[in-house]
């Protein structure tokens, strides 16, 4: 990793000064990540040079849609905890990670101060960027499967989903995660968790000045399952019956093997 970081700095330093002054740049160390049977997460490095006048950088890694998510809220019914409300959530990404170069988003929710102070687009007086929980709230659609939604209930469901994803390291905001040198070179890394979803990821980097957005840069990352994991996934999607029989056979074989090992151990 140390050598990769050195190469990043050399690559950025070799860029022509004239091209760097025109627009900010962001590069990604690798564009493809393979999820194999032994996959335990991976660090994705990004680096580049900020445009002159940049005071803060914010980068967002967003994965493919999580599809239709079913959620259940538990409540106490007499002496037991039971599912009392069910929801269907759509429109949210499967992974959503933010790195910043400063203390913005310190509450882990909306980056409100940054959005209000540093958003600017040409020929627009109402431009507004949303990050963090506020962005997820804006795009999420919550449907109740057990009665109409009460006022504020949808927002509470989205907040609960954010917390669930945060425990799995799929949603996160890392303050001061981006390092910037005095000459404008920056670098940072996103940590892909073991449960990272498969698909095409978009990494958007925003460069903010004192009172406006100076520019953006886009990168793509492709996360794909490989080997035995990919084969099992395709089998489950295309031949569900065969997949079910195979999983039962594997479970039976594992149980027989464990019983044989413990039986031999007990004999000694």
Instruction: For residue 107, give the 3-state DSSP assignment.
Output: coil
How many alpha carbons fall within 13 Å on the CB side of residue 95?
25
Return the pLDDT at 72: 86
The token duo for 116 is 């209000």
pLDDT along the chain (268 residues), means of 10: 47 47 82 85 94 92 94 72 82 95 53 41 54 92 90 93 95 92 92 93 92 90 75 60 70 71 58
Number of neighbours of residue 33 by Cβ within 10 angstroms: 18
Tokens of 248: 């039962």
Per-residue pLDDT tens for 205-238?
Answer: 999 888 788 999 999 999 988 765 555 556 555 6
Tokens encoding 1: 């990793």
How, if at all, do strands 141-144 and 171-174 pair?
A: unpaired
Q: Phi and psi of 238, rounded to 5°?
A: -105, -30
**Residue 175 three-state SS:** coil
Site of tokens 């029989």: 245
Tell me the per-residue pLDDT of 72-82, one tens digit each, with 9 for 90 and over.
887 666 666 66
């Amino acid at each position: 990793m140390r050598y990769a970081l050195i190469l990043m700095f050399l690559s950025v330093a070799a860029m022509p000064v004239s091209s760097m002054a025109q627009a900010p740049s962001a590069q990604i160390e690798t564009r493809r990540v393979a999820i194999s049977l032994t996959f335990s997460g991976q660090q994705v490095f990004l680096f580049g040079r900020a445009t002159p006048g940049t005071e803060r950088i914010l980068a967002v890694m967003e994965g493919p849609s999580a599809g239709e998510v079913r959620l259940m809220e538990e409540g106490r019914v007499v002496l037991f905890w039971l599912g009392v409300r069910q929801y269907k959530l759509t429109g949210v990404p499967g992974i959503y990670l933010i790195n910043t170069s400063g203390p913005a988003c310190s509450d882990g929710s909306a980056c409100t101060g940054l959005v209000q102070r540093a958003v600017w687009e040409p020929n627009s007086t109402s431009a507004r960027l949303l990050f963090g929980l506020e962005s997820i709230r804006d795009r999420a659609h919550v449907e109740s499967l057990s009665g109409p939604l009460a006022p504020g209930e949808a927002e509470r469901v989205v907040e609960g989903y954010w917390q669930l994803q945060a425990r799995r390291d799929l949603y996160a905001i890392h303050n001061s995660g981006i390092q910037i040198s005095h000459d404008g070179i920056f670098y940072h890394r996103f940590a892909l968790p073991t449960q990272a979803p498969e698909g095409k990821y978009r990494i958007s980097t925003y460069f903010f000045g004192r009172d406006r957005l100076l520019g953006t840069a886009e990168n793509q990352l492709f996360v794909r399952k490989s080997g035995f994991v990919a084969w099992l996934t395709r089998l489950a999607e295309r031949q569900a019956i065969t997949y079910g029989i195979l999983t039962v056979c594997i479970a039976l074989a594992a149980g027989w093997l464990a019983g044989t090992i413990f039986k031999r151990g007990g004999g000694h």
